[in-house]
Structure 1
Amino acid sequence: MNILTEAEKAAGWKLLFDGQTTHGWRNFHQDTITGWEARDGTLATPGKQGDIISEKQFSNFELTLEWNLSSQGNSGIFFYVQDNPQYGAIWHTGPEFQLIDDFNYPKPLNEKQHTGANYDMQAPVKLTAKKPGEWNQTRILVDKGHVEHWLNGEKVVAYNFDSPEWQQQLAASKFATHDYAKVRRGHLALQDHGDPVAFRNIKIREL
C-alpha cells in the first residue's frame, strides 16, 4: 500500500502520499496542514478541518487513488484549483469528481450529485460506488481538455472543456459566475465537506 511497482516507476508514476506523513499537502490558503493526518496508511480527516491541496500543480495527468467515506458522508476530488486569495473555495476554480454516500445520504440527490459525477455539470452514466466503509478506486484522466472519470474500473463520465456542450452546461451551472476551469493548470484538492473521509494509494502520472 502507498508504494509504486517498478513498472509504475518506469511508466512515470509518482506517489502523492507516502503513507506515513502529510508531506506534499497543505490546507487551502495556508502554508501548512492541520486537521488531516497520516493514519494507518491513509490520509484522513475526521471532518470540519478544511480542504487540502497538493503542493505541486498539474496540467495534463492521470490520477488514481482509493477513498473510504463515512455513512451519509460527502467529499470530492478536485483539480485545476487556484490557490489565490480572490477565490474563497476550491470549487470556484476546480472541477470536481464527486464523492458521496449514494446509499444513505440524508438529502435527495439529483443525477449530477451522485458519486463519479462532474459535480453539477455531468451525471455519471451508471452508479458503481461501493457502500460506506468499503474502499473505492477513482481514476481521473485529464489530457488537453479531455477529461474522464473512472470509478471502480468503469468509465462513468467523459467531457471536453472545449466542446460546445460543456460550455452550455457551464453557463447553466452554479459555476457560471466563477473562473471555473479557466486556468488549465492548478492544484489537486481533497475536500473536507464536514464528514470523515480517508484516502490512500494516491498516484499521478503527468502526460
Structure 2
Amino acid sequence: MKNQFKLTVALAVVIASLAFTVSKTKTPASNKKSGWISLFDGKTLNGWHGYNKTTPVKNWDIEDGALVCLGAAKDASGGDIVTDKKFANFELKWEWKVSKGSNSGVMYHVQEDAKYHAPYETGPEYQVIDDVNFPQKLEEWQQAGADYAMHVANSNKKLKPVGEWNTSSIIFNNGHVEHWLNGKKIVEFEAWTDDWNKKRTESKWKDYPDYGKAKTGEIALQDHGDKAFYRHIMIREL
C-alpha cells in the first residue's frame, strides 16, 4: 500500500509537470489573445497576391519556411506582392535577409489601382538592402531600415552581415511611426505633419501625388530584381 501511494504521488507530479509545460507552449492561443496574426504560413502564398494582378504569383517561392523573392522583376515594379487584407494602425514584425548586393523593401498603406504602376507610388517603405555590398553608392535615405527617401536610420542601427537573419518591425499608430531593427528603434517620426509634408515635396515623392496619404492599405513586399528572404511575418492591429 505504501509503495502504491508513492507511485500515485510520483505520477501526479509527472502529470502536473506535463500540464505546466503544455500550458507554457500554447503559442497559437497566446498569439491570438495578444492580437498577433500570421501573414505567412511558411508553406504557401495564401493571403498574398501580385500587385494589381489576379494571375498566379510566379516570382516568389517558399524555401525552408521562408517566403523568397526570386528576383525575377527587371526593375522596382511588376513583381511585388501585397496582402489580401488592408490595415490601418498596426504593429508589423518580420525576419529578413538578402543575398549579396540585393535590394528589396516592405511597404504599407499600399493602394491598388490601374493608375498606379507599383506599390511605392502610394506606400511608405521600410528599406531592405545590403548596405555593404550594393553595387552603387547609397545615400543614407536608401540604406537598410530607413523610411525610404524620407527619414534616415539613427546611430542605434546594427545590421547583420549578409546571409544572417535580421529582425524588423514597423509601428504605425495614428500617424506616429517607428522602425525597429534587431531590437533597437532606429527611426521615429510623425506622418502628415508640416515637416513630413516638407520632406515629401522636396524629395522624389513630389512626382507621386498620392504617396503616403492613405490611412489604410495593403502590406507589400518588393521584388527589385534581387533575391530576398522573409519569414515569421506577424501583424497585430492597434
Q: Are the counterparts in 1 of residues 69 and 223 from structure 2 also a CA contact under 8 Å? A: yes
The one-letter amino acid paired with 1:8 is N
**Matching residue's letter, 1:143:** N
Bigger strand share? 1
Scaled by the length of structure 1, the TM-score of the pair is 0.95
Aligned match of 2:225 in 194, 197, 200?
194
Shift in Å at residue 44 of structure 1? 0.6
Q: Say whether residues 1:57 and 2:86 are aligned partners.
A: yes
Give the letter for the 2:93 counterpart. Answer: T
**Aligned counterpart, 1:128:** 158
Q: Is the 8 Å Cα contact of residues 61 and 70 (structure 2) preserved in structure 1?
A: no
Higher helix share: 2
Match of residue 86 from structure 1: 115
Taking structure 2 as the reference length, what is the TM-score of the superposition? Answer: 0.83
Alignment match, 1:43: 67
Mapped contact 2:38–2:234 kept (Cα < 8 A): yes
Among 101, 104, 108, the residue aligned to 1:75 = 104
The structure-2 alpha-carbon separation of the partners of 1:161 and 1:9, relative to structure 1 and needing over 3 Å to count, comes to: same
Q: Deviations over 1:141-162 (max 9, x none)?
A: 0000111000111111111113
Equivalent-residue separation in structure 2 for 1:78 and 1:198 (angstroms): 15
| Alignment match of 2:172 (pick from 123, 133, 142) | 142
Counterpart of 2:234 in structure 1 is 203
Q: 1:114 matched to which residue of 2?
A: 143
**Structure 1 moving runs of 4+ over 2 Å:** 3-8
SS of 1:175's partner is helix
Correspondence for 2:7:
none
Q: 41-50 vs 111-120, which deviates more?
A: 41-50
CA distance in 2, matches of 1:36, 1:52: 8
- Using a 3 Å threshold, how does the CA distance of structure 1 residues 103 and 15 change in structure 2: closer, same or farther? same
Q: CA deviation at 1:177?
A: 2.6
Taking only the aligned residue pairs, the percentage that are identical comes to 43
State whether structure 2 residue 190 is matched by structure 1 residue 160.
Answer: yes
Please name the residue that 2:43 is paired with: 20
Aligned partners of 1:4, 1:152: CA distance in 2, in Å? Answer: 22
- Between the aligned partners of 2:176 and 2:58, the Cα distance in structure 1 is 34
CA separation of 1:43/1:91 partners in 2, compared to 1, >3 Å: closer, same or farther?
same
Number of aligned residues: 205
> 1:147, 1:36 → 2: CA distance?
28
Conserved in 2, the CA contact under 8 Å of 1:4 and 1:14? no
CA RMSD of superposed structures (Å): 1.3
After superposition, the Cα gap between the structure-2 partners of 1:19 and 1:171, relative to the gap in structure 1 and judged at 3 Å, is same
Q: Give the C-alpha shift of residue 140 in structure 1.
A: 0.4
Displacement of 1:121: 0.5
Shift of 1:38: 1.9
- Cα separation, 1, equivalents of 2:195 and 2:72: 35
